[in-house]
Structure 1
Amino acid sequence: MPRMAARVEESYKQRMREIAAGYRQKYPWQDNLGMLEGLGAKLRFVKLEGQDGAYDPEHNVVFLNPKSTPERQRFTLAHEISHALLLQSDDLLSDIHDSYEGEALEDAIEILCNVGASAMLISKAMLERVTSRGLSGASVYRLMLEAEVSASVAMVSLSEYTDQAALFALCVRPSRERGNQKTPEDLLRGLEKPGGVEQDTRSRLEVRFAPSSRSMVYTLAHGTPIPPEHPIQKAL
């Protein structure tokens, strides 16, 4: 009986990682066009409402939104390539269809394509390097630089890689207070400097995104306010 895909089975994720990593190993690339070599696909930039990208299997074309950031475009391209690889993997695709249906199936496919994109862009060697001195906010920033990915992608990759009980939190000001706020990347960059980023006591933070490792029992919901006295306020 198909079930809702609140979480995709780890065995499916691992198979997707292996497929994506195998593609990267067989077709190493230096730029976005090189990423498509193994598919023989074309790349088109098209304004997409509410979407970062799409893959047209009939015409073998990947579409990217030109308004997205370079990091987002790169991850989206890897995500769409993962869609193509999943379509070519009859066994995994069949197992997913046996396990999920309807919206749960769509969610499972999207999750697996995100897993594939991360495996394409972030190698195990990268993860080992950035965590060689322990897991920290600086690990997130170093991975962002080395893999050329966003903070959220780096956090998810580290949360799935680590055996530690870890909870990552990407915090921002509420939209009505943002104004000239520092971006999450600015805040993470400050962790590389002695003393970290100077805290703006006039601002308050809320959780935008909070992935956790498999062994972490706690979670943080989107929009959770961070109390002014919380240690994270001083850390940022």
Structure 2
Amino acid sequence: MEPKKVKKYQKVIKGISLDIESGKLKPNQILPSEHDLAEFYNVSRITVRKALSELALSKTISKSQGRSTIINNLIVDKKLNEIVSFTKASLLRNEQPSTRVILVQLVDPSVYIAKMLNIDISDKVLHIKRVRYTNGFPLIFEESFWVSKLIGPITHKLAAGSMFSYIKTLGIIPKEAKQDLDAIVADEELARELEVHVGFPILRSTMVIMDSNNVSFELSFSYHRTDRVKLSLIRSLNE
């Protein structure tokens, strides 16, 4: 059986998509004109127009007010039924993750934090603030509290990497998470760190993660840009 022939417009779609995934084409960047794309891919302008229509349907690109075609912001699909580190999830999507550490500080927990982590008010917690990026664009502002007696001291260098990978070297295996989601608007801090305007819609995730012994070790508040994330959940039917 002969292999199915790839249509010309599909080759254009693949070429543009690969340039976006590699970072050669970036969000909000203007695409070359239909004429230039037709010359580059050695196809007709009708073929280019068909490819651009398909990319627009998938929300990869859009027409600006000036009728230029621009690359849309990256949309990250987060699966709620999995516990996967930000670093690993990004790499699985062939994206380049990076982290900017704002704060690493040993503090006393508030009554609320102590209750959420099921620790005594006299126990210390590590307070970490980070901004998580994919391909250089801010996606999540993260504020987390880690039980110090379980995690030990954390440097800025460690906090800039995958905390999940680090805690596994300590013998702590993440097993279960309790997560709540709600919608808020960006205050001045969130607006500054996520590069949005004050009042921008934000998805907040509040999560407590437990190890294989059902001991809570992290409480995190993750603030997601709603223009760059979507949520997916696989559910089983119980009838």
Tell me the TM-score normalized by structure 1.
0.26
Tell me the TM-score normalized by structure 2.
0.26
Q: Which has the larger radius of gyration?
A: 2
